Amino acid sequence: MKIRQALDDPDMPTEQVARIISTEPVLSAQVLMLSNSAMFNRSTKKIEELRVAVTLLGFSVVRNVAISVGMKQLKDQQDNTSKSEQMEGLWTRSMRVAALSYVIARNRTKLSADKAMVAGLLHDIGKFYILSRAHQYQGLFTSDQALWELIDQWHADIGAAILESWEVSDDIREAVMDRKRTDLPLHTRPTLTDVVAAADFLDAGFVKQSLQDIDWTNVPGALKNLGLNEESAIRLMTETRQEMAQILRVIA
């Protein structure tokens, strides 16, 4: 909570942010590691101070790292092998959707790409929460199918409630709630919901089959709002492959 509040305050001194980060060993290590990566540190001088690392990365990147660390800690709490594998799958997909959301926002909209990445990373937070608690109520679920039916029914509302309690911005909460809507309005100014919905759709299509095999005559309105068709979507994913790989290294 403290780190989120600090990073949400643009007037917060970097030294104070660094002190708060220093109380979280895993986050501290991740911030320092990232600040010394080739993606951010073009010099040969190793960064060893959190204050310098935060200055180099900026609050937006540190916020993304903090969210990533928090979600990974939630994932790693699972002691049930089956549930652990399911959490790992959710985490991997969340990272891909986050990377896709970033490149879609940066290349197809005037929206903040950093905010889009956060929205993509959090788009399945409701599923994370339910799955992380499922082992406490194993008697309620006769099978994994029953569990996932409940997750599919409730994850969006639970995710939105979690994000509200975290005081996450309205547009991110709306993206989590509405990305699966089939009646998203058509408009010429794409929203964050459009970005996450498109990333979610393209990732699912890319994993299950090649993008060429998708029925492009029946795609979510979000893709139309973003001006993405088969040709432009394939070109976007091809041209940003290296960028997405770098983003995945940032949040992995």
Place of tokens 């406490």: 136
For 251, residues 6+ apart whose C-beta sits below 8 A from its C-beta are 64, 65, 68, 95, 98, 99, 117, 121
Question: What pLDDT does residue 41 have?
Answer: 81
Mean pLDDT of 200-224: 76
H/E stretch holding 191 reads none
Boundaries of CATH 1.10.3210.10 in the chain? 81-251
* Interval 20-70: pLDDT, tens: 989 888 889 888 988 888 778 888 789 999 999 999 988 888 888 888 887
- Rounded-to-integer distance, Cα 99 and Cα 248, Å: 6
Place of tokens 């959090």: 122
On average, the pLDDT of the chain sits at 83
Mean pLDDT of 168-182: 84
Per-residue tokens: 158: 């639970």
* 81 pLDDT higher than 80: no
Place of tokens 């973003």: 226
Contact of 35 with 57, CB cutoff 8 Å: yes
Amino acid at the residue 55:
T
Confidence of residue 7 (pLDDT cuts 50, 70, 90): confident
Provide the whole-model pTM: 0.81
**CATH tag for 81-251 (out of 1.10.3720.10, 1.10.3210.10, 3.90.660.10, 3.40.718.10):** 1.10.3210.10
For the chain, give the percent of residues with pLDDT over 90: 21
DSSP string over 62-129 = HHHHHHHHHHHHHHHT--SHHHHHHHHHHHHHHHHHHHHHHHHHHHH-SS-HHHHHHHHHHTTHHHHH
Q: What is the DSSP letter of 138?
A: G
